[in-house]
Amino acid sequence: MTDPAIDRLWFEPASVVVIGASANPQKWGYQYARSLLKGHGPRRIYLVNPSGSPILGQPVYGNCGSLPEAPDLAVLCVPGAQIEASIDEALDRGIKRFVCITAGFAETGEVGAERQRQMVDRVRRAGARLVGPNCLGLFDADGSLECAGFWDITAGEVGLVSQSGTVLLELSARLAAMGKGLSRAISIGNQADVTAYEALESYSSSASSRVIAAYIEDFRDGRQVLSVMQALNEQGKRCILIAPADTDSVKRAASSHTGSLVASDALVDAACKDAGILRVRSISEALSAIDGILSPAPTMGRRVAVIADGGGSALLGAAACADARLEVPEFSPALRVSLAKHAHPGAGLLNPIDAVGVLCLDDMLPMIGTVLESSEVDAVLLTGALNNVKAVIDPDEAGRVAATIVDHAVRMGKGLAIASMYPDDPAMAEFRARGVTVHSGAVEAAEALALSAPMTALRPVPSLNAPCESEPHDHGYFAARGLFTRYGAVFPEAVEIADESAAIDAARQLGYPVVLKAMGLLHKSDAGGVAIGLPDEEALRLALRDMQDRLSPPSFSIEQMVPADGVELILGSVRTPRFGPTITVGAGGIYTEVLRDVVTALAPVDESYAESMLQSLKIAPLLNGYRGKPPLARKAMARLIADFSQMLLRNPRIAEAEINPVRLNAERALALDARILFGDG
């Protein structure tokens, strides 16, 4: 990672000024002054207000010009109407870092957006940077910086970046309720200047941050966001992306309000999976992941042993794991023999373990230990009615048993998740005292395991750096064929013709049967502009006259007919505003829209990645030689996908491109149609 744009003086400023400080506790200007003054140590805190009267026992400066120095950081709390004048004054004083709490900019509509653009221009021209506007401030535990107003902060090991103030408040409050706190937090508000990726980049130097959660609606440069998160993951700081689902209601709200462009779920999910980044859709999921990651006994994998003291709890525990996409592998015979030494007769030992006949956790300790020692699982989920038989429990003994289990899990590097219906049980109190969350149910415990299991990055976030072609931007079918052909696509022979006699000549030359396509239509097939398998001159004539009557196309294409063997695939691309060019592969022809069996990835992709895309389709068995048929030319298809994706990279003005269908048989991938659309580039 290069040097972050947001340097350490944002978090460890020697001096901070609150511009628009107030004496009224109900005002932001009071609350930010208060939070900055709280335990500020040697840091110099200046307050600016035109009235000049003391606030919170501190002297107040009438304007930035009268400050004795140019503070490292300025917090803007002035009313909206005064923002431009205040910024000019601060820039004149030499201030380079602004946190703009003041709202009323792009989030209120086009007028506010224009004011915001002008404000940022002003700041950037002066070589300064601005966080916000419409944000809640900054917090840094290592730098003892609390610029947080009404926002209550507990210090800890969780880093936060949030585009939304209320989401930041919810994460902070619910983490505190879980006994966890913040290492650093950056409220990026409207991202007018400093955007999510720059805020994230700053975390590479946040020593206290073990896990970082970012709430982002509008990714701006989505690839940079993912690259930074991937780099932080590699640094051992686990990153969680909280992004809302792309439902109609979410898109409606985002676009009506902030003009945010919500990226498609499928794309974000695929790109995050590739990059090894956990993407969640809710704060509850993010908290569950954080809980698991910060556990003293975090899981290193997805193979779970479920241990319960009752059959129903064992079954529901196993079902909860499966619903969370964890594995509950059947134990080996050897492990079962070891377990049986400690089990009552009739116990279920296949995994899940149903430890019948036990009355308390103590009775299960040898079995739990045996599982923790084995290499067959990565984590243990304890669930059931453990320790409900209060009459037989010695509280000290119960606590000791819990401590033994935690120590053993930590020693073996195994994950530990506990679900208990009796949170007040002394063993549960001891688990909590050791930092192991006691979940209310198996579903919640399994979710924490699943969301906190480490992910493997499948590839670096692909870069868009490549020399660009200077192409003529012709939307036509033959131009698209030409461009695609230069990037490896093979089409059946085709001749563009304008009238019937040329058509007859062309068909005779190509040999019957032929295909006739009407030109000048974006969706030829839907419009009835494609006739396939025309067996003879008569049929060709009829089809051509029919299309001429209905569609009056500028010209036609006459093409060789190819046999309908193998399968039809679709290969397409859309350039997205936030993630650039994407590539989509799926079941083609009529099945494209009906079955929606497609996978999407950030372009470009290489051949081996392209093969993995093909293998992840539901129709993959048909490609691999289904029911005794020969396997299809998967490698040729993968090469076509990879080359097509290079074309997108080198032609940034392609807004959409599609080959649908590609007919893939055992020998080759043949492109049967082509469509391209250019945009602003």
Should residue 390 be labelled a site residue for its own copies when binding is judged by CB under 8 A?
A: yes
Contact window for its own copies (CB under 8 A) among 340-348, 361-369, 405-413, 448-456: 340-348
Where in 190-219 is the site for its own copies (CB under 8 A)?
215, 217
Stretch that binds its own copies, among 69-77, 522-530, 554-562, 646-654 (CB under 8 A): 522-530
Among 310, 395, 482, 492, binds its own copies (CB under 8 A): 310
Bridge partners, residue 568, by sequence: 663
Question: Interface with its own copies includes 313 (CB under 8 A)?
Answer: yes
Least distance from C-beta 422 to its own copies, angstroms? 6
Burial 403-416 (b: 16+ CB within 10 A, else e): ebbbebbbebebbb
Amino acid residing at 24: N
CB closer to its own copies, 391 vs 680: 391
Q: Encode burial over 167-177: b for 16+ CB neighbours within 10 A, e otherwise.
A: bbbbbbeebbe
Output helix, strand, coil percentages for the chain, rounded to the nearest 5: 40, 20, 40
Q: What residues between 127 and 166 interact with its own copies by CB under 8 A?
A: 150, 162-166
CB of 669 to its own copies, least distance (A): 19
Angle at which helices 333-340 and 361-373 pack, to 10 degrees?
150
Is the separation of the CB atoms in 452 and 299 below 8 Å? yes
249 binds its own copies (CB under 8 A): yes
Residues 434/402, Cβ–Cβ less than 8 Å: yes
DSSP 50: T
Residue 526 or 538: the one with the smaller Cβ distance to its own copies is: 526
Site residue total, its own copies (CB under 8 A): 98
Q: Find the shortest distance in angstroms from Cβ 547 to its own copies.
A: 14
Burial 288-304 (b: 16+ CB within 10 A, else e): bbbbbbbbebbbeebbb
CA distance 73 to 94: 11
Binding mask 557-596 for its own copies (x = CB under 8 A): ---------------------------------x--xxxx
CA 608 to CA 84: how far, in whole Å?
A: 53
The one among 43, 97, 184, 281 contacting its own copies by CB under 8 A: 281
Contact region with its own copies (CB under 8 A), list: 53-61, 116-124, 621-629, 653-661: 621-629
Name residue, tokens 């279920």. Answer: 348
Listed ranges 231-239, 342-350, 448-456, 603-611: which one lies at the site for its own copies (CB under 8 A)? 342-350
> What H or E segment, with its residue span, contains residue 415?
strand 415-419
Judged by CB, which is closer to its own copies: 154, or 646? Answer: 154
The amino acid at 7: D
Stretch of residues binding its own copies (CB under 8 A), selected from 25-33, 194-202, 403-411, 541-549: 25-33
Measure the CA–CA gap between 443 and 281, rounded to whole angstroms.
Answer: 17
Number of other CB atoms surrounding residue 555 within 10 Å: 16
Q: Which is nearer to its own copies, 155 or 250 (CB)?
A: 250
Cβ closer to its own copies: 125 or 627?
Answer: 627
Q: For its own copies, which is the closer residue by CB, 276 or 317? A: 317
If one asks whether residue 256 binds its own copies (CB under 8 A), the answer comes out as yes
State the angle between helix axes of 634-650 and 607-615 in degrees (0 to 180), rounded to the nearest 10. Answer: 120
Distance in angstroms (rounded) separating the CA atoms of residues 166 and 196? 17
Q: Tokens for 269, please give them.
A: 């999910």
Instruction: Choose between 446 and 571: whose C-beta lies nearer to its own copies.
Output: 446
Q: To the nearest whole angstrom, how small is the minimum distance from the Cβ of residue 467 to its own copies?
A: 39
CA separation for the pair 494, 484 (Å, rounded): 14
94/329 with CB nearer its own copies: 329
Half-sphere exposure of 548 (CA within 13 A, CB side): 13
> How far apart are alpha carbons 576 and 271 in whole angstroms?
13
Report how far apart, in Å, the C-alpha atoms of 359 and of each of 333, 386, 389 are: 26, 7, 6
Q: Choose which of 155, 421, 502, 561 interacts with its own copies (CB under 8 A).
A: 421
Q: Is the dihedral of CA 77, 82, 85, 88 positive or negative?
A: positive
Does 253 participate in binding its own copies (rule CB under 8 A)? yes
For helices 222-234 and 265-275, give the axis angle rounded to 10 degrees.
Answer: 30
Interaction of residue 173 with its own copies, rule CB under 8 A: yes
**Identity of the residue, 315 or 464, whose beta carbon is nearer to its own copies in the bound complex:** 315
Write down the least CB distance from residue 402 to its own copies, Å: 18
Binding marks (x or -) toward its own copies, 450..489, rule CB under 8 A?
A: ----------------------------------------
Nearest approach in angstroms of CB 189 to its own copies is 11
Of 56, 319, 410, 599, the residue at the interface with its own copies (CB under 8 A) is: 319
* Near its own copies in 27-56, by CB under 8 A: 31
Which residue from 66, 235, 332, 440 is in contact with its own copies, where contact means CB under 8 A?
A: 440
653 binds its own copies (CB under 8 A): no
Q: Residue 432 interacts with its own copies (CB under 8 A)?
A: no
Given candidates 422, 487, 512, 678, which one binds its own copies under the rule CB under 8 A? 422
Residue 322 or 522: the one with the smaller Cβ distance to its own copies is 322
**Minimal distance in Å, beta carbon 647 to its own copies?**
28
Q: What is the DSSP string of 198-216?
A: HHHHGGGG-TT-SEEEEE-
Rounded to whole angstroms, what are the CA distances from 51 to 27, 93, 95? Answer: 15, 19, 22
Q: Which of 568, 563, 565 is CA-nearest to residue 585?
A: 568
- Of the candidate residues 33, 130, 153, 167, the single one contacting its own copies (CB under 8 A): 167
Q: Is 188 a binder of its own copies (CB under 8 A)? A: no
| 241 backbone dihedrals φ, ψ, rounded to 5° | -100, 120
Q: Compute CA distances 363 → 266, 335, 407, whole Å.
A: 47, 18, 17
One of 378, 430, 559, 597 touching its own copies (CB under 8 A):
597
If one asks whether residue 551 binds its own copies (CB under 8 A), the answer comes out as: no
- Regarding 325 and contact with its own copies (CB under 8 A), the answer is no
User: What residues between 95 and 114 interact with its own copies by CB under 8 A?
Assistant: 103, 107-109, 112
Q: Minimum distance from CB of 152 to its own copies (Å)?
A: 8
Q: Which is nearer to its own copies, 245 or 468 (CB)?
A: 245
**Cis status of the peptide bond prior to 513, with omega within 30 of 0:** yes
Min. distance of Cβ 80 from its own copies in angstroms? 12
123 belongs to the binding site for its own copies (CB under 8 A):
no
Does 177 interact with its own copies (rule: CB under 8 A)? yes
- CB nearer to its own copies: give 9 or 169: 169
- Least spacing, CB of residue 621 vs its own copies, in Å: 5
Determine how many CB atoms are found less than 10 A away from the CB of residue 260.
24
Which residues 366-385 are close enough to bind its own copies by CB under 8 A?
384-385
Position 169 contacts its own copies (CB under 8 A): yes
CB of 623 closer than 8 Å to CB of 634:
yes
